[in-house]
């Protein structure tokens, strides 16, 4: 039986694993809390200035100095949060979703429009009919502000002449009397008559504070925002479910693991242990159940068009809103692009992981853009390029953790440049020509150059014939550059691994098993872009084998054949003119059967 069994964590539904999103948001939250606190302090200071100005105009200069110092401190905090090139440089690049602009700074150009921002006193964008909404707007300009206006659905709510001509704050209270969608705008003009573009917030007003209605409104509003931000409509109906973690535990065996049984997990361990990714007796099935319960925040099941968000109180907090945005992005991908190829089995394991990186990379960018565009808090913020990571306490081997992180981390990095240049329209074009290998994900120049992986054929039938009765092939697939890196990283440093993996051209591996003797054999055939690339990998692999298997080597019967033997296995490296083989078996006798076949 042949199975794509190497990438075992790709079984089941397309999962929004929390490791690449939750911990990202936690890592940023401390800094963002500082920014929000500082903004509140500045707003309070500005209100005090207004009062003091009206009472004691002769003290305004000293208060201005204090305000400038506070603004400088805020600017420094924002610089710390955005010291990496922004994912979103303009509101246009993100789509039509209107939000507030960053905090005002004094413009250097006297003819430039005013710097404006607007926010809600309570940032939740869903409001109740009859409940007052606090709106706070500010504007600044070095020559002076002539007016600052707040409008609701284009009806003037407040027109204010500034106390301080260089900076003005307007605070107004508005009570919605009818349910519906509302646009809140702030517009300012300078003393020279230069008018700003409106800065807009969107809110949704509903009739009731019933918990179920509020939850449903939250979900629908998130979906509406994602459609506008991404520029894609929902074509088909979806089943959206909010479940608690106890329900998730029940769903792991049915939805997330699906038909992946303990027996299949044991077979995958047989394959993965052939590459030393985990011990031969590793409890993979139990580990995956624990892992999914540990990191899953939500998931999308394409077979049933069902989307799940984990929430223990049925009220979505910021992380849960982002989870729904992330998974809803997958639903749109499924309806518009080739997401089904991930689960269909038509692609090899390496190409599947590359396509998953495209899908998760886009959904991660969508999360970040959604957050920075202000859909969560009513305030747009500059976008940094965060480092995504899984927690050290993840209950799985390093290989599994790294493979889970790869689509989010590397997928986002792969798409970042395209997104900066062309927004989501550029990503639409990539979906029309998706990356074909993890090599293309890791090296954008290889994707742009159209460097397709070479098709490599493994002489599987000849290997089985040579091994004899009782043997069967249990796995055959493509290893890919990601796995080459993971494989060599078991013993070598990053500086040694990356050059050795560079220049990967293609490969094919097979794992063969004898049930009666409990013996296994692994054979992998690899080709490289140039002879120099092959030689560099062979040198690194030799060092890898000496570290893991011991310095003593055994002549495998030829000048370019070297074998290493430890207590349980023998591994051999067979170097030919334009390809090489790696074999692993549990005895020299088995190796001696294979090597003549591979060198013919």
Q: What is the pLDDT of residue 76?
A: 46
Across the range 162-172, mean pLDDT stands at: 80
Q: What is the pLDDT of residue 65?
A: 53
DSSP 555: E
Q: What are phi and psi of 58, to 5 degrees?
A: -70, -10
In this prediction, residue 60 has a pLDDT band, given cuts at 50, 70 and 90, of very low
Structural domains in the chain, sorted by start? 8-26+231-448 (no CATH), 97-222 (2.60.40.10), 460-598 (3.40.1000)
In this prediction, residue 52 has a pLDDT band, given cuts at 50, 70 and 90, of very low
CB 497 within 8 A of CB 488: yes
Q: How many angstroms separate the Cα of 158 from the Cα of each of 195, 546, 593?
A: 16, 76, 87
- Tens-digit pLDDT profile for residues 198-219: 888 888 999 888 888 889 999 9
Q: What are phi and psi of 502, to 5 degrees?
A: -65, 135
Mean pLDDT of the chain, nearest integer: 80
Of 436, 403, 523, 429, residue with least CA distance to 474 = 523
In this prediction, residue 401 has a pLDDT band, given cuts at 50, 70 and 90, of confident
- Tens-digit pLDDT profile for residues 25-46: 222 333 333 334 434 443 444 4
- Tens-digit pLDDT profile for residues 339-373: 777 767 789 999 999 999 999 999 999 998 998 88
Strands 199-206 vs 126-128: parallel, antiparallel or unpaired? parallel
Across the range 50-64, mean pLDDT stands at: 40
| Residue 145 β-bridge partners | 190
Higher pLDDT, 178 or 568: 178
Is the pLDDT at 260 greater than 90, yes or no? no
- Tens-digit pLDDT profile for residues 490-546: 999 999 999 999 999 999 999 999 999 999 999 999 999 999 999 999 999 999 999
Question: Which tokens belong to 397?
Answer: 């081997």
Higher pLDDT, 251 or 442: 442
Across the range 302-331, mean pLDDT stands at: 91
């Amino acid at each position: 039986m042949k199975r794509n069994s190497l990438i075992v964590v790709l079984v089941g539904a397309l999962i929004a694993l929390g490791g690449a999103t939750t911990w990202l948001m936690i890592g940023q939250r401390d800094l963002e809390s500082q920014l929000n606190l500082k903004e509140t302090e500045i707003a309070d200071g500005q209100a005090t200035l207004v009062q003091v100005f009206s009472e004691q105009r002769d003290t305004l200069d000293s208060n201005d100095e204090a305000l400038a110092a506070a603004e400088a401190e805020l600017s420094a905090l924002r610089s710390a949060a955005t010291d990496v090139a922004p994912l979103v440089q303009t509101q246009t690049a993100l789509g039509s979703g209107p939000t507030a602009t960053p905090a005002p700074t004094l413009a250097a150009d006297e003819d430039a429009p005013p710097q404006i921002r607007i926010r809600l006193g309570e940032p939740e964008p869903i409001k109740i009919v009859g409940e007052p909404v606090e709106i706070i707007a500010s504007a600044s300009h070095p020559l002076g502000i002539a007016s600052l206006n707040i409008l609701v659905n284009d009806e003037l709510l407040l027109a204010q002449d500034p106390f301080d001509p260089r900076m003005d704050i307007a605070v107004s209270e508005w009570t919605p009397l009818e349910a519906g969608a509302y646009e809140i705008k702030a517009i300012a003009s300078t003393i020279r008559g230069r008018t700003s573009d409106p800065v807009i917030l969107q809110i949704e007003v509903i009739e009731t504070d019933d918990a179920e209605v509020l939850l449903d409104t939250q979900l629908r509003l998130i979906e509406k925002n994602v459609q506008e931000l991404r520029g894609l409509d929902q074509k088909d109906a979806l089943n959206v479910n909010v479940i608690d973690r106890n329900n998730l535990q029940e769903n792991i065996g049915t939805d997330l693991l699906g038909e992946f049984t303990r027996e299949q997990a044991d077979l995958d361990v047989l394959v993965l242990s052939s590459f030393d990714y985990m011990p031969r007796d590793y409890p993979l099935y139990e580990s995956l159940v624990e892992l999914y319960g540990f990191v899953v925040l939500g998931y999308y099941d394409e077979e049933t068009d069902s989307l799940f968000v984990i929430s223990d109180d049925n009220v979505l907090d910021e992380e849960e809103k982002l989870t729904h945005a992330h998974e809803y992005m997958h639903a749109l991908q499924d309806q518009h692009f080739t997401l089904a190829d991930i689960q269909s089995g038509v692609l090899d394991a390496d190409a599947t992981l590359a396509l998953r990186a495209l899908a998760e990379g886009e959904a991660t960018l969508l999360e970040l853009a959604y957050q920075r565009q202000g859909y969560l808090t009513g305030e747009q913020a500059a976008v940094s390029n965060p480092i995504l990571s899984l927690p050290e306490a993840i209950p799985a081997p390093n290989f599994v953790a790294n493979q889970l992180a790869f689509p989010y981390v590397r997928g986002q990095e792969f798409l970042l440049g395209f997104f900066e240049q062309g927004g989501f329209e550029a990503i639409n074009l990539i979906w029309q020509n998706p990356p074909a290998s993890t090599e293309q994900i890791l090296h954008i120049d290889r994707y742009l150059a159209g460097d397709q992986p070479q098709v490599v054929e493994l002489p599987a039938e000849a290997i089985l014939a040579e091994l004899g009765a009782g043997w069967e092939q249990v796995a055959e697939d493509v290893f890919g550059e990601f796995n080459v890196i993971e494989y060599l990283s078991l013993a070598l440093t990053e500086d040694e691994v990356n050059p050795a993996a560079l220049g990967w051209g293609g490969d094919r591996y097979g794992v063969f098993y004898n049930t009666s003797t409990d013996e296994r054999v692994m054979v992998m055939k690899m080709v490289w872009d140039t002879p120099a690339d092959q030689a560099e990998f062979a040198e690194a692999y030799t060092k890898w084998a000496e570290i893991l298997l011991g310095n003593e080597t055994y002549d495998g019967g030829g000048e370019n054949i070297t074998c290493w033997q430890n207590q349980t296995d023998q591994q051999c490296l067979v170097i030919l003119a334009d390809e090489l083989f790696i074999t692993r078996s549990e005895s020299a006798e088995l190796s001696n059967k294979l090597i003549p076949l591979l060198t013919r």
